Chain A
Amino acid sequence: MEAIDIFSYFLLLLLLLSGIKVVTTSNVIHAAIFLVFTLATTAILFILLSAEFVALVLVLVYIGAVIVLFLFGVMITRAPLGPNAELDNDQNKLFATLISLSIFGIFTYILLQTFDSTVVISEGTSTKLLGEILLSRFVFPFELVSFVLLGALIGGITLARKDNALMDEDQI
């Protein structure tokens, strides 16, 4: 077993442990921080799989923007910042464990039966090729995604702003 294999297994273990902490910790802020750990290990895994542009997009968009959005959401909805026993729905726990374990079992069975190839680790870069393909073969979906983002922007503003007409009625 080569050193890079051992590093990859260590990375996958770290990914799973921080993922488990995201859903089991009783502190809202800790969950967001552990999501940062999960995404950072995913980014390192992507770099190992020679997908460095996707890794950088993951770091910029997720760790840069989405986590900040989540922390704002936590603060705005006044979730308790310390440890909080009310965060989990305890009567669902057994049921949820059963469902997630059975999904994991079925997936693992199918994957072990179907795929046994090897992946190339860390051979060259792909960013130049990715840019050329993104702006030639995939240029229509690429532009379409910008409209989706515009729609999300307008929708977010419309949903989250205070309605002036309703506020006037409250003041009367």
Chain B
Amino acid sequence: MSIQPILIAAAALFSIGIYGILVRRNAVMVLLSIELILNSVNINFVAFNAMLSDVFLNGQIFSIFIITIAAAEVGIGLAIVLMLFRNRETANINEFDLMKW
């Protein structure tokens, strides 16, 4: 199978994630879109690893590291959203405008 459809699908998933980040109002939904973007990067890494037939499996190892960092990021991100909700009684990111000039 050619690698091009996989790469194009990963690029499409990346743009879908960008759309989600820009259009969603709830902060938890924005975090879901960030997960989509990280997932598309994982697809690219594993596809390139299969394309190059890498003996050191660098692509797979990097995607495992990305998954780990993404899990840590979700934990911290949801803790921050929880803290914001506790202080401002809302999780809508367009209402967090304290630092907006």
Question: A residues bordering B, Cβ < 8 Å?
Answer: 4-5, 8-9, 12, 15-16, 19-20, 22-23, 28, 31-32, 35, 38-39, 42, 45-46, 49-51, 53-54, 57-58, 61-62, 65-66, 69-70, 72-74, 76-79, 86-89, 92-93, 95-97, 99-101, 103-104, 107-108, 111-112, 115-121, 126, 129-130, 133-134, 137-138, 141, 145, 148-149, 151-153, 155-157, 159-160
- Do A58 and B9 touch across chains, with their CB atoms under 8 A apart? no
Q: Which of B9, B76, B92 is A152 in contact with, Cβ under 8 Å?
A: B76
CB-CB under 8 A from A99, the residues of chain B are 18-19, 22
What residue of chain A has the Cβ atom nearest to residue B82's Cβ? Answer: A160
* B15 shortest CB reach to chain A, Å: 4
* A140 shortest CB reach to chain B, Å: 12
CB-CB under 8 A from A38, the residues of chain B are 13, 36, 39
Interface string of B44-76 (1 = CB under 8 A from A): 001101110100110011011101111111111
In angstroms, Cα B50 to Cα A53, docked, is 14
Given the interface pairs A46-B46, A66-B35, A145-B65, the reply to whether A115 lies near B57 with Cβ below 8 Å is no
In angstroms, Cα B20 to Cα A76, docked, is 21
In angstroms, Cα B17 to Cα A89, docked, is 15
- Do A100 and B18 touch across chains, with their CB atoms under 8 A apart? yes
Q: What are 6 A-B contacts with C-beta separation under 8 Å? A: A35-B35, A76-B82, A111-B7, A111-B11, A126-B57, A129-B57
- Across the A-B interface, how many residue pairs have beta carbons closer than 8 Å? 239
- Do A12 and B5 touch across chains, with their CB atoms under 8 A apart? yes
Chain B, interface SS category? helix
- Do A126 and B79 touch across chains, with their CB atoms under 8 A apart? no
What residue of chain A has the Cβ atom nearest to residue B85's Cβ? Answer: A77
CB-CB under 8 A from B64, the residues of chain A are 53-54, 57, 134
Given A5-B1, A16-B16, 6 additional A-B pairs, CB 8 A = A23-B36, A42-B42, A69-B74, A79-B28, A152-B76, A159-B83
- Do A74 and B28 touch across chains, with their CB atoms under 8 A apart? yes
CB-CB under 8 A from B91, the residues of chain A are 77-79
In angstroms, Cα B5 to Cα A118, docked, is 10
CB-CB under 8 A from B35, the residues of chain A are 35, 62, 66
Give the size category of B's interface with A: 35 or more
Given the interface pairs A12-B6, A115-B3, A137-B56, the reply to whether A107 lies near B63 with Cβ below 8 Å is no
- Do B33 and A118 touch across chains, with their CB atoms under 8 A apart? no
Given the interface pairs A77-B85, A95-B22, A115-B7, the reply to whether A120 lies near B15 with Cβ below 8 Å is no
- Do B11 and A88 touch across chains, with their CB atoms under 8 A apart? no
- Do B75 and A69 touch across chains, with their CB atoms under 8 A apart? yes
